[in-house]
Structures are given as structure tokens and as C-alpha cells.
Structure 1
Amino acid sequence: MSAGVISPERLSEVLRLATALADRVLDAQIAGRPVPADQAGALAKAAGLLHDYGVDWPPLLTQALYGLAPDTDAAVVEPKSAVALPNADLDGLSRFFAGFRKGTSKP
């Protein structure tokens, strides 16, 4: 993977895929099914990438991320072949999402 500027076409594809994944996550949350940790992580990484490039999140992505926040009732489970993720920084992700919660006001 190379560092640098991502083309608008690639950002558009990331946005499309993140929206599709957010739809699956919300469907699982509504049905009371657990959300696999790899899907939750992929959604968080996509949201971070979009944020880094100044792309506004679609409401579906925001809603899915709020549902995955640690203080909600949403269940997140490890995949069956649980493998420790060396680059997973759960505390960092929690702080990352906390910044968005403080920045938004609910009507």
C-alpha cells in the first residue's frame, strides 16, 4: 500500500462499500444478531479513511458506528477463528469515536 493522495474514484468506491457494510451491520443490529469483529473493524477503518480525506459520512454509516459504540447494547463477537490483531488499538478507536460524539448534538 502506498501513502499519498487517493483518487476521487477510489474514495467513491470506499464510500460505496462502507455504506453497503453499514447496511449489513444495521440489519444485524436490528435483527439482534451479533456483528462480527472483522466487519466492525472494517467499518471503523473505512470511516477513519473517509474522515482523513474530508469525505462526509452518509447517515447510514454514522448510525451503524453509533450502534457499535461500547456503551450501547449492540453485541460484537470475535470470528470463529479468533486471531489477535496486532494493529488493533481498541482504546484508540474508542477515543476516536468519542471525539465524534462530543462534536455532534442530538435534537
Structure 2
Amino acid sequence: MSAVVISPERLSEVRRLATTLADRVLDAQIAGRPVPADQAGALAKAAGLLHDYGVDWPPLLTQALHGLVPDADAAAVEPEPELALPNADLDGLSRFFAGFRKGAPKS
């Protein structure tokens, strides 16, 4: 099976849509509203796809992802009483983003 090649135009569209969704997620976080698990998952998938193709992440995407995944150091000191994603696999998201925290592409 051959690897799928995505055109630069489609990657640009993924980047644009990820920025739009990240803006919505950040708005919900600022307003104290829960972020739907499907939106968090979509951001994670977009981040993974952009990373795989070497495309710089939009700054809003990085900011939204950091807001979705609790900081392990901060959680060890002071656990959050209520998480914004009650149905999300936060452990899975934390493991997924662990590799990106130090090596995320800069835009």
C-alpha cells in the first residue's frame, strides 16, 4: 500500500480549519464552557496531520491544545476539581501531545 500524499492546497485548508476550530475552543475555554470531545479530537487529529507533513501549526492551535491537556506538573501539585472534557480520554490526549510539547513546529 502506498502512502497518501496530500496537496499543499489541502494542507493549507486543514491549517485554516484548525485555526477556526481552535478559535472556537479558546472562546469556550475563556468563557468557562465545556469543549466537546469531538472538537478536542478534531484538533488532535489536525495537529497530528500537520506535524506528519511538516506544516507549521497555527499559533491558536498550539494555545488551544495546551488548554485542553492538563499540565502534568501542575496537576500533581493542584488537581483540577472539574475538567472541561468529561467524556474525553485525557490520559490518551496527554500521551499524544507529550511528544509535541517539546517538538511542535513553530509558525
1:85 aligns to what?
Answer: none
The answer (yes or no) to whether the contact 1:35–1:77 under 8 Å persists in 2 is no
Structure 1 residue 98, shift from structure 2 partner: 1.0
2:96 aligns to what?
Answer: 96
Q: Distance in 2 between matches of 1:5 and 1:94?
A: 28
Q: Distance in 2 between matches of 1:51 and 1:92?
A: 18
What SS does structure 2 have at the residue aligned with 1:22? helix
Instruction: Give the TM-score normalised by structure 2.
Output: 0.75
Relative distance call for 1:6 and 1:15 in structure 2 (3 A) is same
The answer (yes or no) to whether the contact 2:40–2:68 under 8 Å persists in 1 is yes
Q: Distance in 2 between matches of 1:4 and 1:89?
A: 28
Q: Distance in 2 between matches of 1:40 and 1:15?
A: 15
Q: Distance in 1 between matches of 2:102 and 2:13?
A: 28
Relative distance call for 1:7 and 1:89 in structure 2 (3 A) is farther
Shift >3 Å, 4+ stretches: 70-74, 88-93
Q: Distance in 2 between matches of 1:91 and 1:32?
A: 21
Q: Which has the higher contact order (CA 8 A, sep 6+)?
A: 2
The answer (yes or no) to whether the contact 1:19–1:60 under 8 Å persists in 2 is yes
What SS does structure 2 have at the residue aligned with 1:76? coil
Relative distance call for 1:91 and 1:75 in structure 2 (3 A) is closer
Q: Alignment RMSD, CA only?
A: 2.5
Instruction: Give the TM-score normalised by structure 1.
Output: 0.75
Number of equivalent positions: 94
Q: Distance in 1 between matches of 2:93 and 2:25?
A: 18
Alignment of 1:31-46 (within 5 A): 31-46=31-46
What SS does structure 1 have at the residue aligned with 2:57? coil
What SS does structure 1 have at the residue aligned with 2:48? helix
Higher helix share: 2
